[in-house]
């Protein structure tokens, strides 16, 4: 196993940060709608009910995406890629996790508040 593989170290670190931040926001979600802290999309900031739901749901998704990144990092322990390929995998994984978190949260809000659209 290659513990010094960039794919492993970067994704396990970023995944841990995603999970840590998600956990902190899950336990202490931002209470008031604001443009600085929390899950901030137009749909989430629509009203207090949307805001409260999106803060808790997105926190859970962030923790899950962090766990997914940490699991994906294990690939780096067993497979060595070229540097350019490693960089692309890291970038795509982190962006993919963030996009997935947003997609799942927006879809959940759309489902929960379907009568309002």
Total structural domains in the chain? 1
Instruction: Judge whether 94 lies within some domain.
Output: yes
Instruction: Judge whether 44 lies within some domain.
Output: yes
Q: Is the CB of residue 2 less than 8 Å from the CB of residue 76?
A: yes
Give residue 35's domain range.
Answer: 6-116
Residue 117 pLDDT: 54
25 versus 114: which is more confidently predicted? 25
Instruction: Judge whether 1 lies within some domain.
Output: no
Tell me the pLDDT tens digit for each residue of 72-113. Answer: 999 999 998 999 999 999 999 999 999 999 999 999 999 999
Tell me the pLDDT tens digit for each residue of 18-63. Answer: 999 999 999 999 999 999 999 999 999 999 999 999 999 999 999 9
């Amino acid at each position: 196993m290659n513990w010094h593989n960039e794919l492993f170290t970067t994704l396990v670190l970023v995944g841990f940060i995603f999970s840590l931040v998600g956990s902190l926001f899950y336990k202490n979600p931002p209470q008031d709608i604001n443009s600085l802290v929390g899950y901030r999309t137009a749909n989430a900031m629509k009203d207090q009910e949307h805001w409260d739901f999106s803060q808790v749901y997105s926190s859970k998704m962030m923790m899950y995406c962090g766990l997914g990144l940490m699991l994906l990092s294990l690939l780096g322990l067993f497979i060595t890629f070229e540097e350019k390929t490693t960089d692309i995998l890291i970038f795509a994984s982190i962006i993919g996790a963030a996009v997935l978190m947003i997609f799942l949260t927006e879809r959940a809000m759309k489902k929960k508040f379907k009568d309002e659209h």
